[in-house]
Every structure is written in C-alpha cells, then in structure tokens.
Structure 1
Amino acid sequence: MKAINQFLQKTFALWVLLFAGIAMYMPEAFIWLKSYITWMLGIIMFGMGMTLSWEDFKSVLSQPKAVAIGVGAQFIVMPLLAWGLCIAFRLPAEIAIGVLLVGCCPGGTASNVIAYMAKANVALSVACTSVSTMLAPLLTPLIFYLLASQWIDIDAVAMLVSVMQVILFPIILGVIVSGLFKQKIDQYIEMMPMVSVIAIVLIVAAIIAGSKVQILQSGLLILAVVILHNGLGYFIGYWAAKLLQLNQADAKAVSIEVGMQNSGLGVALAAVHFAATPITALPSAIFSLWHNISGPVLASYWATRDKAHLKKHEYDDDVIK
C-alpha cells in the first residue's frame, strides 16, 4: 500500500492529465460525478483531519514567524494577484468570478508532497496548510466578497456555511475519529493519500466533462491566466519569504504554499453557488490540472539545484583541504 501511495503521488500530474483528456473525449463518462464533488472534497478534508496530530500544531508554535508569513502571503498575494489578472485581461464576469474564487482559497494539501520533493521545510508546509485551511471558513468568503462584489452580488454568509460544511466539519470529525480510534485506524490513514489523489482526479474530470464547450471557447485564455497566477504566486511567495529573512528551506515551503491552491474547494463552491454558469468552475479545475504539473517541475528544479550546490561545496572543501 505504501508503494502504491508513493507511485500515485509521484505520477499525480500524469493521472490528472490522462483523465482530463478522457473527460474531454468522453464527457458522458464523468459528467454525472459533478453531483458528488462536495462529498469528494469532504472526504479529502476528513482524511486531512485524520492525519493531523499535536506535532503539527506544535510546529506552528515553534516557528510562528514562518507560519504567519506563509499564511499571510496565502490570503494576501493570491487574492490580489487574481484580482489584478482579472482587471489586466478584462475577463468576462463569469470567468473573473472563477479566477477570484480559486485565488481566495487556502493552500492545497498537495503542497505538502511538493514541499517534500523540493527538499523544503515539510513541517512548515503542513503547518501553513493546516492553519490556512482552518481560517478558510472565515477568510475565503470575506476576501471573495471584498474583491468580487464589483462583478456579482454575493451571499457571503451562505458561502461561509458552505466552506464550513466542506472543510471545517470534515477536518474536525477526522481529528476526533483519529483521537478516539488511533490504534485501529493507522492502516486506513495510510490509504488517505491514495484516496485524495483519486478524488482530486475525479473532481477535475467531472468539471472538464461538464465544461467541454466552454473549454473549447475560452480554455486558452483561462489557462494563460492560471499559469500566470500560479507562477507569480510561487515567485512572490519565495521572495517575500526571503525579504523577511527566512532561510532557503522555509522560503521554498512558503513559495509552494502560496502558489498551490485548494482548487478542489474552488470547484465545490462554484458548483454550489454558481451552478447557472458552469464556466465559473473552470479556472479552479484548470488550476488543479496546472499546479499538479508546475509543482513537481519546480520541486525537481529546486532539488537538482540544491544537490548541485551541495556537490560544489563538497568539491570546494576538498580543494581547501
């Protein structure tokens, strides 16, 4: 099971691409899953709750500055970047709402895997994801209301309730179940990464299947905005951490946390609150597709560069000796 989990996580982007392609070719095979997106995201969040431990919360207390920078950047940089891109590209209202929605979401759970691959501070990544996710029921509707109200009337209270149902309650339930049955559920916890991968792949496939016409019409424009949003998130997150004097491992973790969104939440919120305009869910779906490609690429670059840097230092030390 551990080997299967590792394989699925390493090939995550390939599975997303494969099923997105199948969904475009045979949308009828996946479109029925749209009714279950909220449930699938709830399962992912329940699994996250089951994996949380006191150690995760202690890591927040042990490095409060780094966690504050990561979470602060998450809820400042990505929403403002989304708003700026909507203005710069003069996006139609239904697409702009979708871009802002994914921009206001917390960090994605896949960021922890990418942080590990990049040899970043994984404990910091987990702490930032946990804190931003717990703050999302309040901050996601509030920030979205402030930035998106120029395009559409928003019921922030209804959105707050949705985020609590999809994120907060499943996480709390997962923490409770883990605490009560710790010894009995260890084997199930090991399966949760695999369950999360499958659920995210199916969520993306469902949205792609339901938005085939819109993808053919506006897919390239949305892809360009998503690539810029994601890339600038990585860049600004990294240099903000550096300017605030975090070390390299912490800066990489913050960069990944900022650049990678919980796009599944964006899809779920769009499906619930903007069902009349299916294209609103498309930026979140494409973001989920893209950041699972860009994340591993960035991680590989950093891991390779760090390895080369280490070899250079070892060579210099040998020369000095």
Structure 2
Amino acid sequence: MQSSITFSLHTNKIINYKPKFIQLSLRSNIQPKPILSLPSTSKFNKIYTSKVAPLHCGISSNSYSSNEERGVRKWIELGSEAISTAFPLWVTIGCVLGLLRPSSFNWVTPKLCTVGLGVIMLGMGMSLTLDDLRSALFMPKEVISGFVLQYSVMPISAFLVSKLLNLPSHYAAGLILVGCCPGGTASNIVTYLARGNVALSVIMTAASTLSAVIMTPFLTAKLAGKYVAVDAAGLLMSTLQVVLLPVLAGAFLVKYFQPFVKFISPLMPPMAVATAAMLSGNAIAQSSSSILMSSGQVILASCLLHASGFFFGYILARMLGLDVSSSRTISIEVGMQNAALGVVLATNHFGDPLTTVPCAVSSVCHSIFGSILAGIWRFSVPAEIKD
C-alpha cells in the first residue's frame, strides 16, 4: 500500500526561536498519529533553521565607542569653525592689546614666530596633496596673473595714495616700500581660512618672494627715489623654511600618514587664527609708541593701500577670466604684503625711524581686512571646490 506523506514547515515565521522539540506528523490513508519527535539539535533542524537570518539586537561596545569618537570629533570641528569664523575679532583683540599693552608681547621672539608660521604651513600642507601642488605648478595663467598684479597694483596704489594724501616724505617712502614688498606668509593662512586655492597661494608667495630680490629694490628706487638692498640668500632661506618645506611635509603626511592627519586637521584652523593674532599684535607692539605719536593720516593711507590691493586684485583676476577660488587667492596675495620685511628694510636703509611706521600699521590693516574677507568668504564655498 502506498502512502502520501506531507510535511509543512513554516520556518519563515520563526525568527531566532528554537523550541526544545519539533513535532512532525505523518498523514496517510491510515489513521494519523504522531510517529516521530526530533530534538532541535538534529541535522534536520540545522538544515532548515540555517536559512533563517539571525536577528541582531542591542549595541555592541565597538559601535558605541565609534559613535562616541564621532561625536567628540564633531564638537571639535564645530568649535574650530566658530573660532575660525571669529578671525577678525581675534586679530583686532591682538592689535588693540599690542597698541595699549605692548609689554604683553615681550614673550614673542623672532624664533617663536618662525616656528609658529612653520607649524601653520605644515597644517596647510595637510589640506593639500602632492598632486595639488603639482597641478598648481601647471597653472601658468593664474601664477603669471597673480605675479603681475602683485607687482603692479600695490606699488602703483602706494604711490598714488601717498600723492593723494600728500604724505610727508618719510611716511610716503615707507608706504611705497610696503607696496613693493612680496606677498606675506599670513596670506597663506587667510587663503586657507577663506576657502581659496591654498596650493596656488603657496606657489604665488614663493614666486613673489624669490623675485623680490630684484623687484623690490627696482620698484622702490623708481617710485620712492631710494634704492634698498635686499638680502637674497636670507629671503631664499626664509621662504624655504617657513613656506615650501612645511607645506611639502604636510602633503607628504597626507599621502603616508592618513590617521595622524585625520586626527590633527580639525585643530589647525584655530592654531592659524591664534598665530595670525599673535603676529599682528606683536607687530603693533614693536612700534606702538611711533603709531600713537603719528597722525591718523598714516592709518588712512595704509587702509586705502590694502583696500585697493584686495579690491583690484579680485576684480582684475575675474576680468582675466580666472575662477572664483583663484580670484580670491590672488586678491589675498595682492592685498597682503610682507610688512615684516618692509620693517627690516626701512630700519636698515632709511635714515628716518618714522619710515617704519607705515610698515607696522600696514601689518595690522592687511590682517584686519584679510580676516574680514576670510570670515565672509568662508561661508561661501566656490563651485569649483564643491565639485
């Protein structure tokens, strides 16, 4: 006699439930009755329950610690962004403190300034890759445009402003000297905070600094009637130590030490802000008495000079067909000069000590203007960076 046996297993309705026994029934033409009882550990049970995906409940300790780390990092990034956005405030506080309490900056030494700038440039290098720097070298239009605007807009603006305001000869010479100086290292910090093209900024700073050996003496002699000697070897070493080598080291870390870069990168913008505020305050502290004794004419002249540099640097770059990020970078490079170099040159080559006053005031003006621009532009990311 043949019997038909029917098994009905609804394992898809049982999730993570293992009964102690599974009851199976045979149904045939004869009266049905239970014939078999298998424990859940049998091969049969393993075969059919293995098709049911396990249900994971709860939170593992690894995921919890990972979420906690992400939360801490998010708070650090928010704090970094808040400090960076208030860049103009910190620079202003540093300048006011340097003017009213110059002794507050007695602890700032030239070596400390150099180390601080080097650390900041290292941080900026961490925001780049070696490919970014390589691509900046192959941007001839941007580099040449920036170079031409650097050594045309500022020297001409300094000459015209000194004539417009009828500055005394010592103030006029100091203002023109500042206009003929190369781009300052602080421009790289501001470009970094303003979401500009940092690689282009570094290349432009290096190019204008190296060419300053020829351009600064030539333009100063033509416009101010006074020849100044520039220490070519000193400028070259300074540029290598403070700009190029730290940036290359940062890009190297990005390529080979990603975990370290990921950990330290949120801390770099606040460090850049603190360094810029320290340098600005120290520059004012060094010449605070001369600044207080001078008339507001020098402050007005310096403000007009740097406002002209930022404005025409951006407008002319856009007229030349450059993108927004590169135009911002060129605006900052043109508007921010190496005022510290101007102070050194004025002290060594001009007989009147008042010649250094426009250089000291200039360092404050370009820092405040640059920080304001960085605060504004930081909220507007250029399309080419988004892409």
In the TM superposition, residue 145 of structure 1 has moved relative to its aligned partner by 0.5
Structure 2 CA distance for partners of 1:13 and 1:282, relative to 1, 3 Å = farther
Which residue type is aligned with residue 218 of structure 2? L
Cα deviation 1:95-122 (Å, max 9, x = unaligned): 3443234322215123314532xxxxx2
1:40 to 102, 113, 118: 113
Partner of 2:146: 70
Matches of 2:177 and 2:115, distance apart in 1:
18
1:111 to 187, 190, 204: 190
Structure 1, unmatched stretches of 5+, are: 117-121, 308-321
2:361 to 241, 266, 286: 286
Matches of 1:263 and 1:191, distance apart in 2:
27
Q: Tell me if the contact between 2:105 and 2:285 (Cα under 8 Å) persists in the aligned partners.
A: yes
Q: Tell me if the contact between 1:109 and 1:129 (Cα under 8 Å) persists in the aligned partners.
A: yes
Alignment of 1:133-148 (within 5 A): 133-148=205-220
3-state SS in 1 of match to 2:236: helix
Q: Tell me if the contact between 1:241 and 1:254 (Cα under 8 Å) persists in the aligned partners.
A: yes
Q: Tell me if the contact between 1:106 and 1:140 (Cα under 8 Å) persists in the aligned partners.
A: no
Cα deviation 1:50-91 (Å, max 9, x = unaligned): 533323324425643233322321232223322333344444
Q: Provide the aligned C-alpha RMSD in A.
A: 3.6
Structure 2 CA distance for partners of 1:5 and 1:291, relative to 1, 3 Å = farther
Matches of 1:80 and 1:62, distance apart in 2:
29
In the TM superposition, residue 175 of structure 1 has moved relative to its aligned partner by 4.2
Matches of 1:276 and 1:195, distance apart in 2:
37
Q: Tell me if the contact between 1:67 and 1:127 (Cα under 8 Å) persists in the aligned partners.
A: no
In the TM superposition, residue 40 of structure 1 has moved relative to its aligned partner by 0.6
Alignment of 1:262-277 (within 5 A): 262-266=338-342, 269-270=344-345, 273=348
Structure 2 CA distance for partners of 1:128 and 1:172, relative to 1, 3 Å = closer
Larger helix proportion, structure 1 or 2? 1
Alignment of 1:100 onto 2:179: no
Alignment of 1:250-265 (within 5 A): 250-265=326-341
In the TM superposition, residue 144 of structure 1 has moved relative to its aligned partner by 1.8
Matches of 2:377 and 2:241, distance apart in 1:
36
Partner of 1:204: 280
In the TM superposition, residue 224 of structure 1 has moved relative to its aligned partner by 0.9
Structure 2, unmatched stretches of 5+, are: 1-75, 383-387
Alignment of 1:5 onto 2:77: no
Matches of 1:253 and 1:188, distance apart in 2:
25
Partner of 2:54: none
Please give the TM-score of this superposition, normalised by the length of structure 1.
0.74
Partner of 1:314: none
3-state SS in 1 of match to 2:194: helix
Matches of 1:277 and 1:197, distance apart in 2:
34
Matches of 1:77 and 1:143, distance apart in 2:
13
Task: Kindly indicate whether structure 1 or structure 2 has the higher relative contact order, using CA contacts under 8 Å at least 6 residues apart.
Answer: 1
Alignment of 1:201-240 (within 5 A): 201-240=277-316
Matches of 1:147 and 1:13, distance apart in 2:
32
Cα deviation 1:12-49 (Å, max 9, x = unaligned): 2211221222222222222463xx23641453145325
2:242 to 170, 176, 186: 170
Which residue type is aligned with residue 233 of structure 2? V
In the TM superposition, residue 185 of structure 1 has moved relative to its aligned partner by 5.2
Tell me which structure has the larger Cα radius of gyration: 2
Alignment of 1:52-71 (within 5 A): 52=125, 53-60=129-136, 63-71=139-147
Structure 2 CA distance for partners of 1:141 and 1:220, relative to 1, 3 Å = farther
Q: Percent of counterpart pairs with the same letter?
A: 26
Partner of 1:81: 157
Q: Tell me if the contact between 1:45 and 1:166 (Cα under 8 Å) persists in the aligned partners.
A: no
Matches of 1:45 and 1:275, distance apart in 2:
30
Structure 2 CA distance for partners of 1:97 and 1:147, relative to 1, 3 Å = same
Cα deviation 1:221-244 (Å, max 9, x = unaligned): 221111111121123223322332
Please give the TM-score of this superposition, normalised by the length of structure 2.
0.63
In the TM superposition, residue 153 of structure 1 has moved relative to its aligned partner by 4.5
Cα deviation 1:204-252 (Å, max 9, x = unaligned): 2223223222112225122111111112112322332233233555444
